[in-house]
């Protein structure tokens, strides 16, 4: 449902065009210094601004409502909320009965018997990832300097020039997909709880929760399906487990091996485009056209790297807390 994690537990809430979006974090250890300013950098990275990203710009000032005393975490749940201020819901009137192709408009309506909030995607909106980024900031603070998270867009629409591809798509009243790669240095060996809760399982679980992700691969990923073992297998260099290559992406048997964690996610294009698309009018059941005029990203993939990093940090912290039990 809306919670993730075993000992570091993240619960997401809020809507795109509701009063607020936010996150509740349970299991944060006590004694971690935490202030609103800690969130600024990562929230800025998630915020739009570049060509090909939405014109809706929220200030994203985090309100820390609980779990903090004198600038330190207390061990109690941390509630963080973000006001929604730059909302124009009238943009979305049409989609209430004309579901956008590629979007959750129709599935959400079916699942929640029509009671879901359709404005801007409601709870199933990219807006909700603001809470995920906030949780990621806390996870990174817990981890400290020992791990370095670095994600970037390496392709958009098949081009290595993602910004340009996004701008061209926007100019064409269209949208475009993107490929994001993330590397995490310093992940300790031994994280992951196979059989079912290996590192890949948990991280993929969380990554696929990010709206619009349609593929996740670790290390060589899909290319591994084309390889022979003598090419794929990473030669082991020393007893700590360091390997000469890293086609496993830092994970063997669902357990981190001490090498850098490497994975990629594929983001589909934004569903909302101004180009005319075929859909049905739910009032009549008849075919019709829809052109989405609301503000939206032509390439929301450009905003994903910091969200992907947050996912990796959340999973890393959760596993680290669980792993302590063994010692």
7 binds a second copy (CB under 8 A): yes
Q: Applying CB under 8 A, does 148 fall inside the site for a second copy?
A: no
Q: How far is it, in rounded angstroms, from Cα 240 to Cα 248?
A: 16
Mark residues 280-319: x for contact with a second copy by CB under 8 A, - for none. x-x--x-x-------------x------------------
With binding defined as CB under 8 A, does residue 256 bind a second copy? yes
Q: Is the peptide bond before 195 cis (omega within 30 degrees of 0)?
A: yes
What residues numbered 166-205 form the site for a second copy, per CB under 8 A? 169, 172, 174-179, 189-190, 192-198, 200-202, 204-205
Integer angstrom CA distances of residue 152 from 46, 107, 183, 309:
12, 31, 9, 9
Strand 3-4 to strand 72-73: parallel, antiparallel, or no bridges (unpaired)? unpaired
Q: Is 65 in the site for a second copy (CB under 8 A)?
A: yes
**Using CA atoms, how far apart are residues 10 and 133, in angstroms rounded to an integer?**
11
Interaction of residue 51 with a second copy, rule CB under 8 A: no
* Residue closer to a second copy, measured from CB, 29 or 36: 29
Beta bridge partners of 68: 73
Overall size of the chain counted in residues: 327
- Residue 197 pairs with which residues in a beta bridge? 193
Among the residue ranges 45-53, 54-62, 143-151, 235-243, the one whose residues contact a second copy (CB under 8 A)? 235-243
Q: Give 50 or 266: the residue with its C-beta nearer to a second copy.
A: 266
* Between 41 and 269, CB nearer to a second copy: 269
3-state secondary structure of 199: helix
SS3 70: coil
CB of 245 to a second copy, least distance (A): 9
120 near a second copy, judged by CB under 8 A: no
Smallest distance, a second copy to C-beta of residue 67, A: 7
CA distance 327 to 322: 11
Shortest spacing between CB 50 and a second copy, in angstroms: 18
Nearest to 21 by CA among 120, 92, 157, 143: 120
> Considering the rule CB under 8 A, would residue 227 count as an interface residue with a second copy?
yes
- Nearest CB to a second copy, comparing residues 41 and 242: 242
């Amino acid at each position: 449902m809306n919670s993730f994690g075993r000992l570091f537990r993240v619960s997401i809430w809020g809507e795109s065009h509701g009063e607020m979006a936010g996150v509740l974090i349970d299991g944060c250890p006590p004694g971690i210094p935490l202030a609103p300013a800690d969130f600024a950098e990562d929230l800025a990275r998630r915020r739009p601004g570049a060509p090909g990203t939405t014109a809706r710009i929220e200030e994203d000032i985090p309100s820390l409502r609980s779990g903090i005393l004198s600038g330190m975490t207390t061990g109690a749940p941390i509630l963080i909320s973000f006001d929604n201020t730059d909302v124009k819901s009238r943009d979305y009137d049409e989609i209430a009965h004309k579901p956008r192709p590629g979007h959750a408009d129709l599935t959400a309506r079916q699942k929640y018997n029509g009671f879901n909030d359709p404005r801007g995607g409601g709870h199933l909106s990219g807006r909700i990832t603001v809470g995920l980024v906030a949780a990621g900031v806390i996870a990174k603070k817990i981890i400290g300097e020992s791990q370095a998270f670095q994600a970037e867009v390496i392709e958009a629409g098949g081009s290595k020039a993602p910004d340009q591809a996004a701008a061209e798509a926007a100019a064409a009243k269209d949208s475009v997909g993107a490929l994001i790669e993330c590397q995490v240095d310093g992940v300790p060996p031994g994280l992951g709880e196979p059989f079912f809760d290996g590192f890949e399982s948990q991280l993929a679980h969380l990554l696929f929760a990010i709206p619009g992700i349609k593929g996740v691969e670790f290390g060589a990923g899909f290319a591994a399906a084309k390889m022979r073992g003598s090419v794929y297998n990473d030669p082991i260099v020393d007893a700590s487990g360091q390997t000469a290559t890293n086609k496993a992406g830092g994970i063997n048997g669902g357990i981190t091996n001490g090498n850098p964690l490497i994975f990629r996610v594929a983001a589909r294009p934004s569903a909302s485009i101004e180009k005319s698309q075929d859909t049905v009018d739910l009032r009549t059941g008849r075919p019709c056209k829809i052109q989405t005029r609301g503000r939206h990203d032509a390439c929301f993939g450009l905003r994903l790297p910091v969200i992907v990093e947050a996912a990796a940090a959340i999973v890393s912290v959760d596993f680290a807390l669980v792993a302590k039990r063994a010692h």
